[in-house]
Amino acid sequence: MSKSNSHTTSGMLRSLGWPLFWGALLSMGFFKLIQDGPLASEFTQRYFLGHPVAVATTCMFFVGLSALLLRFVSVFGEITTLNEVELPENKVGGDSVNDSDTLISQLEEMPRRLRKGYMWRRLHAALCAVKRNGTADNLDAQLRNLAEDDLDSQQEGYGLARIIIWATPMLGFLGTVIGITAALGDMATQQLGDDLQGAMQGLLSGLYVAFDTTALALTLSIGLMFTQFLVDRVDSHLLSCVSVNCLDQLGSRFATESSNETAELSSDDIAAALSESQGKLFASAMQHVQENWEEWIASTGSDMRDVVVAASQGLVDSQQVVLQQLVDHQSQMHKTVEATSDVIRLETALNNNLRLLSEAGHFEQAVMSLSAAVQLLAARTNAVESPEFHNGQDRAA
């Protein structure tokens, strides 16, 4: 326990001590260049040395920049040595769980610079888990948990940079408030009454310096944000490569218990087991279908009988109506046929008479005689119906 606590304490001191050390060195070198070096100018001295808060903001910026640069150097160095952390080839048929001791020993013999990286730590933790559990069945889940732990560790590594990015604008606003307060406090009441223009000029010059701290703080915090984003992308790429390499080296290395049991079974045993399982599933499915069919028949049997009886009765009635219509239609057809026969007989008799008259040669004479008879008959009929004829009959009487 004491060893673990000392390791945690030393790691925390390194994560804070080195950024502070390099940040202090960079700050001193930068201020030296501003005062006496090639960066000396009125602009740089106004923004970086014009107010104590501006100096503090610049120092915080270099501390955050040092933390990000150290992180980038560490990540880039681990990417270049990623392929050096590699386990030996596994045995034919897979390594056993007892081989995890040998693999752990080989990892611990690697150089110290490799044992600080994600790759070494994850392989070592996964092998220790296999040794502790006595099986490799849950190795995939263990690797996922280790990947999540490394992701959390990655985010914790940017804690100092995040704090500085958040605090830098706040420090700039604080410098603005302090500058405005000082500028207003330096104004004398008598000067306001005697020389108002000079008082306002002094106030504006003080406000220029005060607002410069906010502009400087916002600019430096934006630069830190973009730097953190770039370093975080490189760090995320490293974690992805570590996950892929660990899965390649440990994913199929160990022979699990389930694979051993499957290997011990012969092909005949597997085929028999599959056939028995399929037979049971088919019998169960058929029994389930039969039970559902019987339940449906029992629940809908009476309703179906009523529907069938009603449909049959309606069909019989419809057939009777159709038969009656057919009988009526047949009788009408008989009447039509009889009338047609009479017309044909009359037409035949008339044709025969005309033919006989034509053959005798007296057809025209008969027509003329018939016409004269018709005229004579019409004249007599008119004479009988006239009133003079009736009066003559009365006088004769």
Please write the tens of the pLDDT for every residue from 115-158: 888 999 998 898 888 888 888 888 888 888 998 999 988 888 89
CA distance 296 to 290: 10
* pLDDT at residue 395 greater than cutoff 60: no
AA identity, residue 245? N
CB-based contacts of 273: which residues, under 8 Å, 6+ apart?
265
Integer CA distances (angstroms), 103 to 60, 83, 89, 110, 254, in order: 45, 17, 11, 11, 12
Highest-confidence segment of 50-54, 75-79, 324-328? 75-79
The reported pLDDT for the residue numbered 216 is: 92
Q: What are phi and psi of 208, to 5 degrees?
A: -55, -45
pLDDT band at 167 (very low <50, low <70, confident <90, very high): very high
**pLDDT of 334:** 66
24-40 residue pLDDT tens = 999 999 999 998 888 88
Non-local (6+) Cβ contacts of 53 within 8 A are 171, 172, 174, 175, 178, 179, 213
Write the pLDDT tens digit of every residue in 170-211.
998 888 888 777 777 666 554 555 666 666 766 776 677 778
What percent of the chain lies above the pLDDT cut of 90? Answer: 22
Better-predicted residue by pLDDT, 196 or 57: 57
